[in-house]
Structure 1
């Protein structure tokens, strides 16, 4: 079983990463500022434009350490990839399934089922825990809408209609997401999803969380031998890790949305952690990113019982286990792909 190790987040924009023996070295102006043993790392995510040395990229690829590059504001740029893991037969099966609308829809609908199920459960948890502080009727209506969509999603055979059902569910869920925010509503409000750029603090946090989760999902898929760029729900597009986006659909409500709401409600996010630009864009400051990333890494260590495997494991292992279950299904070891259903 894969172990959950540390992830090194490089948030300073002027840090250049290099390799010295078995250590990752952080350099600023050609001066060493920190060293980290490579064998203790599961991944490195750099928010610096300075980049990394070819030697470090090669060592990360050889050792299976995920090395990803993002803009200082969190937009994913690229990943360092070595030789493909797994055998060619698994990827050939993946490509055949992706090219078959019926088979790809069969897989996609289980992932969308997981997304809508987890979205509904997130609303129900808020109704249960904070019933006196929210508009329960709005959450109940949205929850009932999501519940009503679940049987239709499982029976859908058309990719186009499945996309429509997912859109209805997303609209119902995001329509009441603002009710989940219980603190500092003057700063933290949600009036709809916007991105590229995000126009308010909540959307800035969501975009940052989605970028981190997508990178984790892409790394997990590659580690089990799948091609993260060939998806079943998200279709092929140059430069887009479509299968990583597929896998993260069922994980968004519980691993990203709920995490952002918890940060806000626990008063870990402040108004001065956001930078408002003349263009209208709202971006996390350096201090805001540090608080976010520290909490993100701590959240990964929290334990839960996997609903399918019935084993206790850290949150951070969920993308890897779901990728493993998907690979087993494609190999024929599982009759169907079991989505992650959060409780």
Structure 2
């Protein structure tokens, strides 16, 4: 138990410092890619894969790992490249996204690097809607690409973004007229999922592509109104974002008198033992794992009504 707590303490010390760790890997070529270590359960040599009829073409098969059957997605094919031919020399990155466990087939795995979120930048202009990049960074004069895994997974198995009829009928957001729900997320797919779920309830939405962009806009609103909550009802923020992550964004908000009353819901594909400690440390009001529209809508209404009662 003490070793687990020591690990939690070491990780939470990075919270608010805009730091992260990336596991570097390659697909078929020389290009390096990175994935946040927080999402990785383990890395192993590609085991024998079982073929199952009617699987998505991007799924090379399933593997039976530690008593669990896991779909193995060819990450090269999923991003428009050629398939990874030599399975026995490939590696599987077992990761947890959006409440489920997936295996990503990659060509090789290198090492873990420590870096800062402010060194993680949005994709270059002109990459277009078809791009699978959510961010880039540089190491040893080489570009490291970070993939929009949420987009890849949504293309393989689209998530339902509709709030259930029973919940929609029971929710009352009429008291929030004139206020916006602010969304910060670097994934275009994730932003659209949240927008669709909440606009169906009649809520007005404003979006930002990362934490720094969100913070600047929220400060602008606060300067115009005197208190950001005069216009913004709730902030729904991803955690992993270029330039400024959601933990740092939350800490900045809670330390700014003009922003501190804003309720922050961290909405993330990250999961694991460390998150609750981190959420508590930065002062977020709520934490929801992506993506369940009813849970998200209920949380937004809860914090909207809490703000109303506070006034």
TM-score normalized with structure 1 length: 0.27
TM-score, scaled relative to structure 2 = 0.29
Structure showing the higher strand proportion among its residues? 2
Choose between structure 1 and 2: higher helix proportion.
1
